Amino acid sequence: MTKNTLLFFAVAALMLSPLASFGASSSATAASRPLPSAIGYEPQDEDERGLWLQMDEFERDLKNSKLLIKDPQLNTYVRGVLCRTVGAERCGAARIYIMRTPYFNASMAPNGVMMVWSGLLLRVRNEAELASVLGHEFGHFENQHSLQSFRDIRAKTDAIAWLSLVPGVGNLARFSIVGSLFKFNRQMEREADLISLDYMAANGYDPMAASTIWGQLRGEMDATAKARKQRSRKDMNFGFWATHPNTKERMEYLRKAAEKKGSVGFTDGAKKYRKAMTKWWPRLMDDQIKLNDFGATEFLLQQLASEGWTSDLLFARGELYRARAKKDDLVKAIGFYRQAIAKRDAKAEVWRGLGLALLRSGAKVEGRAALRKYLSRDPEADDNAMIALMAGSK
């Protein structure tokens, strides 16, 4: 990733109300005020107009971002899930931007910009899980959490500034104010979580999905840690400094709240979700493999393969093992590529992977033959010249 890309993400991730805070990472409801989701809503005062202007400027750049996934089918699908979740009359206020970012998160800004990271699409297993995240973000938006947060921070930093002039008040008072900033943020996260549950239950999505998603993420964190021989971050608790409730807490209060909604008449839309993602999963998996997070990637592959190993999934697994290339990894990778080829619908890249894995394990003749097969199956490939060099002449 270039510096600019990183900067872009830093800004994007930090200025909005993100869903989660792994490394990165938002009460009161005023009933009489118009909701930001209402048609023709305009910001109501100077604070809100300022936030909107800033986000409008951000959106100008966002529209020109190279990371934007413009695929109309995918965009229509994600918008459809949001509209079903929060209702067709309200979803129009959101402008969805799907970003090619291989991590789990989404965010929403006060002016209606909703960013959905592609890593989220790789991790949720069905429409209901996606709906729970989109509903959470929409809950921040409708309840103007960014604005509340802005005002809360301003009021409290003003107090801190004055306190710093008063002798004897010192660190303890400042410390307690800072703590209340974080607490306020956690309260808003919890509120958005529960709002999402209401949206889901009202519109037929299984509300339990909001809890299971955190279970999956915890599983993934365990897998990452195991492969790296580290302690799992799943129960990391920033306590006083936490911007979000921790994953275990979220999983549990969401489960309890979902149980109260009953279980009749809900769908999870798993089949529709799989169908909508067919084209994108291989690309998103490729992004994931490049994160060099073996444990999490293997975990996600297993999760996606719960309905059976397709040639795309086998190919991805081959790529993952070939990239790590420890002890038996190349042997395993070759096995996965061959299983993919046996599926009959394997794409050309499988032969490239097979050829490279064979070459690397010393099987020169066989490896070159596989690379030539790749070239003959996809003569227009971008890496044609480089692979041709490795394949040599017959």
Interface with another protein (CB under 8 A): 4, 10-11, 14-18, 21, 24-26, 43, 46-47, 49-54, 60-61, 63-64, 110, 146, 149-150, 153-154, 156-162, 164-165, 171, 174-175, 177-178, 181-182, 185, 241, 243
Of the two residues 60 and 394, which places its CB atom closer to another protein in the complex?
60
CB of 170 to another protein, least distance (A): 8
Closest CA to 134 of 186, 94, 102: 94
CB of 211 to another protein, least distance (A): 23
Please state, in angstroms and as integers, the Cα–Cα distance from residue 359 to each residue in 73, 175, 195, 333, following that order: 39, 60, 55, 12
Q: Amino acid letter at 301?
A: L
38/227 Cα distance (integer angstroms): 48
Structure-token pair, residue 263: 């279980």
Closest CA to 108 of 179, 165, 26: 26
Of the two residues 127 and 191, which places its CB atom closer to another protein in the complex?
191
Going by the DSSP 8-state scheme, the letter that residue 394 receives in this structure is -
Of the two residues 47 and 378, which places its CB atom closer to another protein in the complex?
47
Q: What is the DSSP string of 67-85?
A: TB---HHHHHHHHHHHHHH
CB of 215 to another protein, least distance (A): 24
CB of 327 to another protein, least distance (A): 41
SS3 labels along 140-172: HHHCCHHHHHHHHHHHHHHHHHHHCCCCCCHHH
Of the two residues 56 and 328, which places its CB atom closer to another protein in the complex?
56
| Half-sphere exposure of residue 81: CA atoms within 13 angstroms, side-chain side | 29
Of the two residues 173 and 390, which places its CB atom closer to another protein in the complex?
173
CB of 181 to another protein, least distance (A): 6
84/189 Cα distance (integer angstroms): 22
CB of 352 to another protein, least distance (A): 31
Residue given tokens 């400042």 in the structure block = 174
Of the two residues 243 and 302, which places its CB atom closer to another protein in the complex?
243
